[in-house]
Structure 1
Amino acid sequence: MRHTLFAAVAAMSLMVAGAASAQMVHYTAKLAGPAGVKGSGDVFAMLDGKTLTYTVNYKDLTGPAVAAHFHDATAPGGNGPPIVPATVTPSPIKGTATLTDAQIADFNAGKVYFNVHTAANPGGEIRGTLAKQ
């Protein structure tokens, strides 16, 4: 009887753990600038439920990063307003944010990009669209 109960509890634990990890979604992006800009970087993000955790690595910018954020584009590859600000630090930038259902849908549809701004390129020096992994 005890072995049966133990097996049932173990099986339930595995099912709950599997369901929890099924909610985790990973996204990545390569950051690059227009021709003549040698800056580059990458974004690694994980969505667990509605909590986004991210790390952004960047290098070779024309100067210090002055702003950085996730933008929501109207279409993949398009431009849009910032939706998740990032606290600018020397590389890497790390942070967390709580997303809305609409933002999650746009992340999954490939409509979100990350942009790093510098004084020389205030509109954004390097950017990359996040892709669901």
Structure 2
Amino acid sequence: MNTVSTIVRSLTLAGLTTLGMTLAVSPAPVQAAQATTFIALANTGQEVPAGSGTGVGIGYFTLGSDDKLCVSFTFGGLAGTLAAAHIHGPTVPGVNAAILFPLPTANPINTCVGPLDKDQKKDLRRGLYYINVHTSTVPAGEIRGQIEPIRK
């Protein structure tokens, strides 16, 4: 098995295991308008313009009662070294948007940002934010994933 397949399999298994454990102890998901949990599956094809690399990432996000958005995001298979990571928005998939929140340059990324104001929470719940990772090889962004509410 090649290295990329191993990375993808490991990220997928780790991400799904973490997500499954979190969902197992979480209350039932709510409608998108009230969502407090979100997921992002990132890859090179979602970047604008789309890349052809093998990088992937998976993220789990929670919106706390303090209106802070907590991020747990892991990634691998990148062509370059990590240069930056951000949450951008508001926008639909396939369109670039401004940086809203810079994120730590670490893997995994585990941090909280905000607090989000009323409009930002509304945009987040409508799936209008994305996370992306910038590298030395692709400084405009190597992988990207739309942050989507976990719905019923």
Contact residue 46 and residue 53 of structure 1 kept, 8 A = yes
Give, in whole Å, the separation in 1 of the partners of 2:82 and 2:138.
Answer: 10
Give, in whole Å, the separation in 2 of the partners of 1:75 and 1:36.
Answer: 21
Unaligned runs of at least 5 residues, structure 1:
1-17
TM-score (norm 2): 0.68
Report the number of matched residues: 113
Q: Secondary structure at the match of 2:123?
A: helix
Which has the larger strand fraction?
A: 1
* RMSD of aligned residue pairs (Cα, Å): 2.0
- Number of the residue aligned with 2:6: none
CA-to-aligned-CA distance 1:13-53 (integer Å, 9 cap, x gap): xxxxx9xxx87710001010035210001111000121111
Q: Does 1:44 align with 2:60?
A: yes
Moved over 6 A (4+): none
- Number of the residue aligned with 1:93: 109
Q: Does 1:27 align with 2:13?
A: no
* 1:114, distance to aligned residue in structure 2 (A): 0.2
Unaligned runs of at least 5 residues, structure 2:
1-26, 45-49
TM-score (norm 1): 0.77
Greater Cα radius of gyration, structure 1 or 2: 1
Quick one: which amino acid aligns to residue 43 of structure 1?
G
CA-to-aligned-CA distance 1:43-100 (integer Å, 9 cap, x gap): 11000121111111000111211000100033344210010110111x2011001212
